[in-house]
């Protein structure tokens, strides 16, 4: 099967946070600057959206439900209800908490995912001044199954790129402005992370652009979206080796996730920030990549204890 890249959505302002829902066989993702959550059904091609009041950094289904999600809206982690129908109202069911309250700046929640025990790891990023993100203004958090929010580290510029490897007892994480991928020792039972080190330097490997969202395949290799790089790269985090570069029509590639019945489809989101859509119609679109010859792993939902 040859490599094929297909567009599955029209241009969004800032597509991000793709999540494959195994039970419903649908893709969920967000448009951060469009303040919207999205649903795409590959079997029918149906694409719907629901609007929120503020910018939304990620959405992850709540375990045991088909219409509830944890989202990061501006500085607030909350549970929302949405029936998945186009234009349907998105209702806030429960506020879990606000973060970055000690930061006197309009930071916002960016990327977030559930870990293998259904906790949420997510972080914030700096605000923009004259079109540039202010460095070191964000933090990285964990939301435990009881809803408690724990700060893991601060001085984060753009929180991104989460993946877990239980065989390696590893969690991978990215602060985009470091131009590098972090690896932490990860305790799946407690959710604790420790012993941070860098495992892939973009500049040393000649990769132009910023490391953005990431996912992992069943062989333990990372797939990393390259913002301002028009590609997704595959790397071996154990050796730091660049394995493959997959071209994407959009310049601002933001995140990736494996999905489909066999987890052999790579879904890719992108952004259209300060780009002329008429000159660059591919910018901000969502893509489906087939023929990679690899398979990913099922994602995790948020397991919230009552």
Which has the closest alpha carbon to 19: 74, 56, 55, 52? Answer: 56
Q: Are the C-beta atoms of 38 and 29 separated by less than 8 Å?
A: yes
Q: What strand order describes the sheet that includes 193-201?
A: 159-165, 170-175, 180-186, 193-201
Question: Is the residue at 264 inside a domain?
Answer: yes
CATH number at residue 178: 2.120.10.30
Question: Is the residue at 149 inside a domain?
Answer: yes
Is the pLDDT at 174 greater than 90? The verdict is: yes
Question: Is the residue at 47 inside a domain?
Answer: yes
Active site residues per annotation = 212
Which has the closest alpha carbon to 143: 23, 223, 225, 58? Answer: 58
Mean pLDDT (the chain, rounded) = 96
Question: Is the residue at 118 inside a domain?
Answer: yes
Q: What strand order describes the sheet that includes 56-61?
A: 56-61, 68-73, 76-81, 91-98
Is the pLDDT at 172 greater than 80? The verdict is: yes
| Tally of structural domains, the chain | 1
Question: Is the residue at 95 inside a domain?
Answer: yes
pLDDT at position 273: 93
Map residue 39 onto helix, strand or coil. strand
- pLDDT tens per residue across span 253-295: 999 999 999 999 999 999 999 998 888 899 999 999 999 999 9
Question: Is the residue at 298 inside a domain?
Answer: no
Which has the closest alpha carbon to 6: 282, 296, 297? Answer: 282
Percent of the residues in the chain that have a pLDDT greater than 70, as a whole number = 100
- pLDDT tens per residue across span 68-126: 999 999 999 999 999 999 989 999 999 999 999 988 888 999 999 999 999 999 999 99
Is the pLDDT at 1 greater than 80? The verdict is: no
pLDDT at position 155: 95
DSSP 136-202: T-EEEEEE-TTS-EEEEEEEESBEEEEEEETTTTEEEEEEGGGSEEEEEEE-TTT--EEEEEEEEET
- pLDDT tens per residue across span 34-72: 999 999 999 999 999 999 999 999 999 999 999 999 999
pLDDT at position 102: 87
pLDDT at position 306: 67
Q: What is the mean pLDDT of residues 230-242?
A: 97
Domain that residue 157 falls in: 4-290
Question: Is the residue at 301 inside a domain?
Answer: no
Question: Is the residue at 306 inside a domain?
Answer: no
């Amino acid at each position: 099967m040859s490599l094929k890249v297909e567009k599955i959505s029209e241009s969004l302002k800032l597509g991000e946070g793709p999540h494959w829902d195994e039970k419903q066989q649908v893709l969920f993702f967000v448009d951060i600057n469009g303040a919207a959550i999205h649903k795409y059904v590959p079997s029918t091609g149906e694409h719907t959206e629901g609007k929120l009041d503020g910018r939304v950094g990620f959405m992850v289904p709540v375990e045991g439900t088909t219409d509830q999600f944890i989202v990061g809206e501006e500085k607030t982690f909350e549970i929302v209800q949405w029936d998945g129908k186009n234009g349907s109202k998105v209702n806030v069911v429960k506020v879990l908490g606000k973060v970055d309250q000690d930061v006197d700046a309009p930071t916002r929640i960016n990327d977030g995912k559930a870990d293998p025990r259904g906790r949420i790891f997510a972080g914030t990023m700096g605000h923009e001044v004259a079109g540039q993100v202010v460095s070191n203004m964000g933090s990285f958090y964990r939301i435990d199954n009881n809803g408690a929010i724990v700060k893991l580290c601060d001085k984060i510029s753009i929180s991104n790129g989460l993946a877990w490897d239980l065989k390696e007892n590893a969690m991978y994480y990215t602060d985009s402005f470091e131009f590098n991928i972090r690896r932490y020792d990860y305790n799946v039972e407690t959710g604790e992370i420790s012993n941070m080190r860098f495992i892939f330097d973009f500049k040393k490997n000649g990769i132009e652009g910023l490391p953005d969202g990431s996912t992992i395949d069943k062989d333990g290799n990372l797939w990393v979206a390259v913002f301002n790089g028009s590609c997704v790269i595959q790397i071996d985090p154990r050796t730091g080796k660049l394995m493959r570069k997959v071209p994407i029509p959009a310049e601002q590639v933001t995140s990736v996730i494996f999905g489909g019945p066999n987890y052999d489809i790579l879904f890719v989101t992108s952004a259209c920030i300060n780009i002329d859509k008429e000159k660059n119609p591919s910018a901000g679109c969502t893509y489906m990549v087939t023929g990679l010859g690899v398979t990913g792993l099922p994602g995790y939902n948020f397991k919230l204890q009552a």
